Chain A
Amino acid sequence: MWNNFKNGFIKENPVFGLYLGMCSTLALSTSLNNAIGMGLCVTLVLICSNVLISLIRKITPDEVRIPVYIVIIATLVSIVEMFVHAFMPELYTSLGVFLSLIVVNCIILGRAEAFASKNGPLASAVDGLGMGLGYTFALTMISLVREFLANMSITFYNPFNAEQILFSFGIEALEPFKISLFSSSVGAFLTFACFAALFAVIRKHMNKKQEAK
């Protein structure tokens, strides 16, 4: 079970390894707040959907499996969306349409089909947590690079109260060297490509090590 959890980060990272959920990764990696907010929303939905689907896996008729999954996921996403709208209005505006697009995020349906429909609720919950955090991790990495290069500073505010800044880091001397390109879509694609290549190298290295053992 621990291995399942660990796999979600590097070897089977849902974003860099499996290329799942790329749309939201590219779009929401502009700032650290968006990245962490979105990552946690996805993790929450993923854990809940995995547990629910795992619980009903024995009573779901095989023919209508996919419709059942979609109904469950859509319901969960609606709940999360309303929750974020009510308590974190700032985050809700900056995530925008991508919050409701969690429904069609490949990670969730993919895990439901590949893991939760065959394993018990506890294992599915752990798998959901691992995959969700792997997604959050990927999103955070990209957003750190992009936010720093675009502003030469990184800020993180309290999602429940946008005026309260929790964490801020910046190098003033670098201020004139901002690359605003990285906040646009071009930067998103390029940063993502470099990270994907980096992870490919790491994975290859890890596989070699394993073979050597």
Chain B
Amino acid sequence: MIKAIIYFIILAVIYGVLYYFNHKTPKPEGCENLRSSCEGCNITSCMAHPNNDRLFKEENKNA
């Protein structure tokens, strides 16, 4: 049980650190505003989603 928890924490930390560093790494020149035109699903966390900002604002208004 303890082994599992330690193992789990190690994995989660590795992921967290990689995620953090990835988001700190600047995007290369000319790629700052890249967007794919994805309209398939509504994962609002997804960066490719075109209505990302709009959906957020609507949710906030309701709340």
Contacts and interface: CB of A to CB of B under 8 A. Distances in A.
Task: Let me know if chains A and B touch directly in the complex, using CB atoms closer than 8 Å.
Answer: yes
A90 interface: no
A113 interface: yes
A121 to B, nearest CB: 13
Contacts, number: 50
A110 interface: yes
A20 B42 contact: yes
Contacts of A56: none
A64 B59 contact: no
Given A67-B15, A67-B16, A106 B43 contact: yes
Contacts of B20: 63-64
B42 A118 contact: no
Contacts of B43: 20, 106, 109-110, 113
B12 A106 contact: no
Contacts of A119: 63
The B interface, classified by DSSP as helix, strand, loop or mixed, is helix
A64 B19 contact: yes
Given A64-B19, A66-B19, A118-B60, A19 B12 contact: no
Q: How large is the interface on A (under 10, 10 to 19, 20 to 34, 35 or more residues)?
A: 20 to 34
A149 to B, nearest CB: 27
Interface centre among B42, B56, B59, B63, by most A CB within 10 Å? Answer: B42
A4 B56 CA distance: 15
Q: How large is the interface on B (under 10, 10 to 19, 20 to 34, 35 or more residues)?
A: 10 to 19
A118 B44 CA distance: 13
Interface in A34-67: 63-64, 66-67
A67 B60 contact: no
Contacts of B41: 18-20, 22, 106, 110
Interface in A80-96: none
A18 B44 CA distance: 11
Contacts of B42: 18-20, 106, 110
Interface centre among B20, B41, B56, by most A CB within 10 Å? Answer: B41
B7 to A, nearest CB: 13
A197 B37 CA distance: 22
10 A-B pairs with the lowest CB-CB distances in the bound complex, closest first: A113-B45, A18-B42, A114-B44, A106-B43, A106-B41, A113-B44, A67-B19, A64-B16, A67-B16, A110-B43
Given A106-B43, A113-B44, 13 more contacts: A19-B40, A19-B41, A19-B42, A20-B41, A20-B42, A22-B41, A64-B16, A64-B20, A66-B45, A106-B42, A109-B43, A113-B45, A118-B60
